[in-house]
Each structure stands twice: as C-alpha cells, then as structure tokens.
Amino acid sequence: MSLLTFRFRHSRSDELPWLIELAKRGELRQQVLSPKQIVYEAAFELSDPLLLTAAISLATALVHDKKAEVFAGGQALKIPQVLQVLRCYQQSQQVEDARVYCWFQTAFRFDVTFATLTLDDDPKPLLYPCRQSANQALGIHTEQLGTIVQQVEASLLRAGTRWCPRLADLTDWKLEASAVMKGRL
C-alpha cells in the first residue's frame, strides 16, 4: 500500500476551493480546530493511476504553500521533492519493466579517508535502485558503517525517495544487487 497524505489549512486564498476540489479526489478529512482554524487532510492511494494523477495535481497546487505538509509512511516530506518523485513514478508506469526505468549500475570509484581522495584500483559494482536519488549514491562504500543495503536505504531516505511505491519492496533489488556485488552485501 502506497499512501500519501497532504495536509493544508483553510485560508482566504482564492485557490482554496480549487485545493478542496483536488483533495476530494482522494480521501478528504476535515478537522475543525476552531471556527477560524480548519485543517484539511487528503490521502491518496498511489497504486491507482487516477489517484496518482490527482495527487500530482494537488502537489502542484500546494508546491508554494509554505504551511502545507505531506507525509508518507510516517515520514514528513518536502512537497517539491514529492512532486518530482510522483512524476517519476508515473513515468515509470509507462514502461513494461520498471527496473529498467528505475535501477542503474554504478561503481565505487573513490575512497575518501581523512579528506584524502585516492583512486580505487578495483572499482566495485553497485546496482542502485533509484535514478531520482542518484546524487545520494555518493559515499556508499564497503568500508563505511553498515552493509551496502543499509547504506543504500539511508541514501534513499536522505534523498526523500524511499517512500516511492517502486521502492516499497526492495527484495528483487537486493537479490540483483547481491549477484552484482558477488556476496559483498
């Protein structure tokens, strides 16, 4: 289950009726804190393509609202990053095998020790499960704390993409990565 929840406040904005209409496409809840303070929560199940499109529309409408919040899997996220991940996820649904779209192979090429950069003579392959968070793949190394799988999980969290429905179950990736890493996981 890939549930994404948006939270925004009642305001005098001309956009509020439009935001409420977008939120109604998902599961909308309204919480009245006081007569002047109303909070709207809209939850979207991302496995449904129509709800995914509605979530993208709401994220687009809320991207500049500094008080709006979004949550997935108990994690607070940033709306601009959520919008990027939603668009990426939607595009990945247009290919037959999402692994071809999402996964990529990289290599550990550098070893950073006490601010000294040295070229690794034996680059080790790494199958990384998310192109969207590619910039977070740096620093993953066999000598770092934790296993490679733990380091990749942490990098996905840092990038704000771990909640993506394509990353919900990394079992297939772990098996593939294990084969690529030849038991180094």
Q: Which of these, 138, 147, 148, lies nearest to 117 by C-alpha position?
A: 138
Q: How far apart are the first and last CA of the chain?
A: 27
If one counts the domains in the chain, the total is 2
In the structure, what pLDDT confidence band is assigned to residue 181 with cuts at 50, 70 and 90? low
Strands lying side by side in the sheet with 75-77? 27-34, 37-45, 3-9, 69-72, 75-77
Domain range for 130: 98-181
Pairing of strands 69-72, 3-9: antiparallel
Per-residue pLDDT at 122: 56
Q: Are residues 102 and 177 in the same domain?
A: yes
Residue 115 pLDDT > 70, yes or no? no
pTM of the model: 0.83
Instruction: State how far the Cα of 9 lies from the Cα of 151, in Å rounded to an integer.
Output: 37
- Which residue, 92, 125, 140, sits at the end of a domain? 92
Name the pairing type of β-strands 69-72 and 104-113: unpaired
Using one digit for the tens of pLDDT, what is the confidence trace for 7-36?
999 988 888 999 999 999 999 999 998 888
* Cβ 163 vs Cβ 85: under 8 Å: yes
For residue 97, what pLDDT band results from cuts at 50, 70 and 90?
Answer: very high
**87 & 102 share domain:** no
Asked if 107 and 121 count as a contact pair (C-beta separation under 8 A), the reply is no
User: For residue 68, is pLDDT > 60?
Assistant: yes
Cβ atoms < 10 Å from Cβ of 131: 14
CATH number for the domain harbouring residue 86 = 3.30.70
Which comes out higher in pLDDT, residue 136 or 151?
A: 151
pLDDT reported for residue 124: 62
- Of 76, 92, 108, the position where a domain reaches its end is 92
Indicate if the pLDDT at residue 84 is higher than 80.
yes
Cα distances (Å, whole numbers) of residue 129 to 5, 12, 68, 118: 24, 43, 29, 26
Question: What integer pLDDT is reported at residue 81 of this predicted model?
Answer: 93
Q: Are residues 88 and 19 in the same domain?
A: yes
**pLDDT at residue 88 in the model:** 95
Question: In terms of DSSP H, where are the helices of 78-140?
Answer: 79-92, 98-102
Whether residue 140 sits in one domain with residue 75: no
